Structure 1
């Protein structure tokens, strides 16, 4: 975090005012650490149970040592103890890569907080939260009780995050013998593909019964696995059918439409009766607002009843 572009922007900015709490966070760098401080008694503080005391001092600070997110949509800082037993997801995040801060999503329940606790800075994280969160943004994370250090883990997502340790496969591939040590992911097994992607992008196992349309749209494997396109593809359709997992998400709408039409166009009975040469994505994968100007395309590919517009909030909210 300390050497990131966001850290430099925040150090120049100096502080951030959280209007929902009437609280100010201050930023500084000391001894190579990015520090965030705030007044412990500041804001609408209330008594809450299960909070972890930080200090009895009137002013408290924490060293922020992790920054999650590519910055394309958002970046959220974390303060995590080296042993991985607890941490804090910061109350504020940077959105759209411009360094402007706003409240981190799903922090509504911390608008009120207990002074002198981890809640002063955001959402407290236990050991399971810490390793689950870091796990999706790293290649290798050690199991407890090993600490989270540069010696025990590989930060950021690399090849082995999905493919596993496959040095022998690379060596044999250079000799023309890659089949002797196969990659961990079977390119011809849709289930294996989906399981790998779902580990971080999440599926039905992460969807609660009272989830909203916006929450469900964030879980792309969940939506895709409900789609007839997936169910009727005999294992041919996976996330990588449309998305190159080794590259950033493409914004070439025409490329996606062409992919849809590669299956639906050859047979007359499969041609869309509403817009046979129109925008498949606009109608069948509606853009669903989430938070802070961020929206996700709902990957439950279907006919949204009653409208051909992505603005059909009623139909989306009615989705199970």
Structure 2
């Protein structure tokens, strides 16, 4: 890849301040680990996203789409090609009556606050999920009895040929921590949700209750990517890990959180390799003791 050529072409699409070269991915993930991306771009408009995709495809350059980086573990050698970060730069929204339209980069927490102001109920579950809307759609994020599939009406997407398409809830193929994006390289642009009118005090009470549960039960004071593992059918990952005697297990600066065994946390100076090594120990121990194979919920990307 001719970095200078691609950089010059990207400068025709984006402001220079929205293009970062050799950018450490630890600056863009909640785990605070990860080597450099060759180029990281932060588009502000739909047309910019379309133009970037066309550029990288025409030049056969590998690319990776990310949101807020809250469910991402980037390996220590980083990511080759172009990383397209759809986050705070692309986060407009509008609320009309009980219909919410929002760009993919908006944080769920920010969207939840504004939905509360509009006195709409049904989105409370997402108030403490630390990711972007696009990422939440891709993995059908959920918590405390709610999931994105419960509120989504339609999703505006960019397909691999650069066409903008719209899929309804059913066409999105939502399942447990998955959607059509689990096997198709679509990019989420905008989401439409339909909610119900409620009372401000009732909605706030539910959000406050969820906030208390999160802050008391989860290690939110340390870098992590949230729940490290998916829930195995018939089990709870955190309980399996604790019952395997792994609570507080530490490898260098990577640790199984003593507060919630479902979280692997970065005590400060962990590398991606340290975290991956600890994950492999957890998976092997749980498999040996209980014959249950844990599957990562955190998305692992980049070069070793």
Compare CA radii of gyration and give the structure with the larger one.
1
TM-score (norm 1): 0.29
Which one has more relative contact order, counting CA pairs under 8 Å at least 6 apart?
Answer: 2
